[in-house]
Amino acid sequence: MPAVAHIIRRRHNRRKRAQREGRRSALWLTIIIFLPLTLALTPPLALVGLSAALYVQAASTMPTPQETVFLDSDQGLTRFYDRDGQHEIFQAYDPLGDRRRWLRLADLPPYVVDAARLAEDANHPDSQGGFAPLETALQLWRYIIGLPLRVEGGLAGDLTRETILPLTRSSGLDERLLEIVLIAESRRTRSAEELLEWRLNSRGYGHDAFGLDAAAQVYFGKPAERLTLAEAAVLAMTAAQPAINPLDDARRSQERGANLLFEMLDAGLIDKAAFDAASANRLATRAPSDYSAEIAPVFSRYAKRQAAVILDRLGLDGARLMARGGLRVITTLDLDLQRRAACLLRAHLNGLRGESSAALEAGGMPCPADSRIGLPGEPLAAPPDSGALALIHVDSGEILSLVGEADAAQYQPAVLLQPFVYMDAFLRREFTPASMLYDIPQTYPGRAADLIYAPANPDGRYRGPLLLRDAMSAGLLPPVVQVASVTGMPSALRMAQTLGFNSLDGGGAGLDLLERGGAVSVLDTAYAYSVLAAAGVMRGIETSAPVAGNRRLDPVAVLRIEDAAGRVLWSLEGLPPGARQTALIEPSLAYLVNDILADADARRATLQQPDLALQLGRQAAAIDGLSQDKRESWTVGYTPDLVLAAHSGRSDEAGMSIDAYQRLGTAPLWSALMRSAHETLNLPPRAWTAPADIEEYLVCELSGRLPATTDHCPTRQELVPAGSELRRDNRWQTIEINSATKQLSTVHTPANLREEAAYFVPPDDILDWWIENDKPLPPSSYSADQDRAASKDLLLTSPADYAYAGSSVEVVATINRDGAESWLLEYGADVNPDRWYPIGDRRSVDAGGTISATWQTILLSGIHTLRLTVDFADGSRLTDSKLLTFDNTPPAVKLQANSGADSASIALGEVVSLLAEVSDNLAIERVEFYRDDQLLLVDRDWPYGIELEADRAGEERFRALVFDQVGNRAESSLALLVVDG
């Protein structure tokens, strides 16, 4: 038997095995039951935990209301400096400064709070009210798993996005997460009244006014507690759209305020008496605070707007930081050039008025001694008294100087649009610099159906046909209108808008926009022309508010932005090159425009006027001119380095007493500043390089076509785009003339008087103008009679000179000299035949000295010369000749009546018109009209026709018999049935 110890051990082992099996079974049971449950619950728990963690982390960034309103110690004035960073040019600051205070709703008149609340509710009629934990959790879950988020509205939503969120972006948390949590926290921790109070103390109202108290001071010069009902309504609506405020748009601002008053009346917030009193109350706005820059106010305003946009794109509150951020902004302004430009403008305006420029100042500092412009002549009777300048660096798009109201889109472009019309025509391949245009009086349909537009040059002169280069370089109006009438003004305006003229509207624009109407700014003008100067490339930074069809970049005014601690928030150098430029037009198009506008020789030759004011001693393209009403004087010009737009006018908007081509309006100012700027910046002369797709051809003057030979016409070199189809010239005729009489030479013209002369034959549509202005045409008469001697020993008496001949010619000649032995008749083609053909054999002279012969000419056509040669016994020879025109082709004729039918019925007593349609290879002599065999009329003048009354019933037969100058004839007949009743 087993030992007791062994039995006990076996029992112990069995119990242990049973325990292990029980634990194993329990483990498996636990796994089977709880694992699925755990797997099902873990993600939601994790999601809840993650959501809670994110919420807590984001909520910790929530500022207090006072932190969003009151300045920290490191905040304050935002200062703007010139491009060297050494000179302060402008300060932007909070209008309230250290007088800012927290407004409590209880301290405000009830109607102020009601107006604000109603305006907020109108913007968000369906917005959520208080805190909603479930909705917040759902928003967080959507954020975590990447689903689209619902945009929260209402007070909390707007307050968070406009005021709270900009102060928390430095936390590094995702902006969408911050927006969800901060909106929820603001609703959780504050009531609707508290949120409204926060909103009134922090939101922007325009003009750097943040908070209702600041807005009341800026617009009405009073604290918020003293606002009237009408003022409160206007400010409540201004908060929704700060651009429509009492200072910038008073009419629309008051209209919006009046609409809110109606809503307050309908809602029972005010009674009828209060409504009537507020409606009758005229708002007395405060004049804008004059805290603008003294040195460059327009530039500073532009730079401030651009800096705010840059900060907005960085996720910061640009407007708030401009007013209260304590930033340091380095601008593109060249302070020396800015002062010099201001001085030159004042000196120029003083000079045109006949005033001294000895003690000029700009920006509180004396002007340099060389800020003087010599102007010829007496003071103008109606000189300009205001001006504006914009100077831009071509390679960077940086604004170096802005003087006057250069950013206001209030000036008629007039002559400025001409290059864009021509460039659009080049792009379409409808015109080239070698195209012939017409500087003649022409009419076009006006904007209204019953109006006619007749463009004229400012000097009242017309220069006839000329090449596009000459017309464009001189800024002539009729030729550019001719081009625009073909290509269309809307197309040219779209190009101008793309290149920078944002304010132009192509809809409904007429051709007269080329001399009057429209509105552009001086800055936009300089920027658009900088694209041409840069060979078709626009350089700048992304525009603040892109509009379809307008430019995508803006001229640069800001180089760098630093915060109060000196940290660089943004710099122009930090932008990738692709973000700072964009190619807009082909370099070849820009080159053609630049080359033409820089062609001083063409401009001077076309206008016959001195051109010194537009020359810089280096290659410079320029355009200069006046609007039709002489309210605007422009000079815009550029080199490969700088572009300057200069404008002058009168503040009373009256016309100026300036001659368009005397270059007094702005050209001397433009020239002086451009010379100074290039010297100041040490810019060596540069020229534009011709692209590979520009070709040069020898073309004829006036026609612009390729000459048939080198001596075919006066020629010049001209540039055209590669692939242009230039035609052979057919407008110039090279003719041999008698240099003494200027008539066509003949075989009788002495050799020493013969010369080749080139004549331009104008197209039919300008022939009348050409003749009226005594322009030369090829001679049509011959000098044969003048070239013959007064007495001759040999005379061809028949045929007559210049006679028409048909199938045969009777030749008769008389010899008035003894010793004649033989004679020979010959003929040749044209006036001066290259080759002579004998008419029969040489014959002996009869005793009577008379020669007669019959010449069969049925195969000849056109002009021929008949020559008689007589040889004498002493070895001498005499000749005589006659010009004849041969016509062996009969004319053609078709007789028609009234409707043009070959036969017709007419009523007895009706007047019928018979018209003979005739044609001939040379000339018609007459048309005879017959009824049966009765001659009715001989008509020798076109149109050939007769009117007669059908005075008898029955069939009438009419004939038209046409004769040419030789006597060749043709006939056409027509039968008409005359019906009685």
pLDDT band at 714 (very low <50, low <70, confident <90, very high): very high
| pLDDT given at position 22 | 54
Ramachandran bin of 138, using left for φ above 0, alpha for ψ from -120 to 50, beta for the remaining angles: alpha
pLDDT above 90 for 620: yes
| pLDDT given at position 3 | 46
Q: Which CATH superfamily is domain 789-886 in?
A: Immunoglobulins (2.60.40.10)
CATH for 349-354+359-680 (3.40.710.10, 1.20.120.50, 3.30.70.420, 3.40.50.300): 3.40.710.10
Q: Which two tokens stand for residue 907?
A: 């009523």
CA distance 245 to 309: 20
Largest Cα–Cα distance of the chain, in whole Å?
A: 192
Give the burial string for 932-968 (b: 16+ CB within 10 Å, else e). eeeeeeebeeeebbbeeebeeeeebebbbbbbbbbeb
| pLDDT given at position 73 | 43
Averaged pLDDT of the chain = 84
CA distance 453 to 478: 11
Q: What is the pLDDT of residues 938-966, one digit of tens each?
A: 998 888 888 888 888 888 888 999 998 88
Domain boundaries, the chain: 349-354+359-680, 692-727, 732-772, 789-886, 892-979
Burial of 201 (0-12, 13-18, 19+ CB in 10 A): buried
| pLDDT given at position 506 | 55
Whether 349-354+359-680 shares its CATH topology with 892-979 is answered no
- Helix or strand (DSSP H, E) at 41: helix 4-59
CA distance 193 to 66: 16
- Helix or strand (DSSP H, E) at 65: helix 65-69
Q: What is the pLDDT of residues 734-769, one digit of tens each?
A: 888 888 788 887 777 777 787 888 999 999 999 999
CA distance 572 to 570: 7
Please name which of 555, 540, 535, 536 lies closest in space to residue 687, comparing C-alpha atoms.
535
pLDDT above 90 for 367: no
Q: Please, are residues 303 and 398 in contact by the beta-carbon 8 Å criterion?
A: no
- Helix or strand (DSSP H, E) at 118: helix 110-123
pLDDT band at 497 (very low <50, low <70, confident <90, very high): very high
Helix locations, 124-222, DSSP H: 133-145, 154-159, 165-168, 175-189, 192-202, 212-220
What average pLDDT score do residues 40-57 get?
59
192-196, 470-474, 798-802: which is most confident: 470-474
- CATH class name, domain 892-979: mainly beta
pLDDT band at 831 (very low <50, low <70, confident <90, very high): confident
pLDDT above 50 for 331: yes
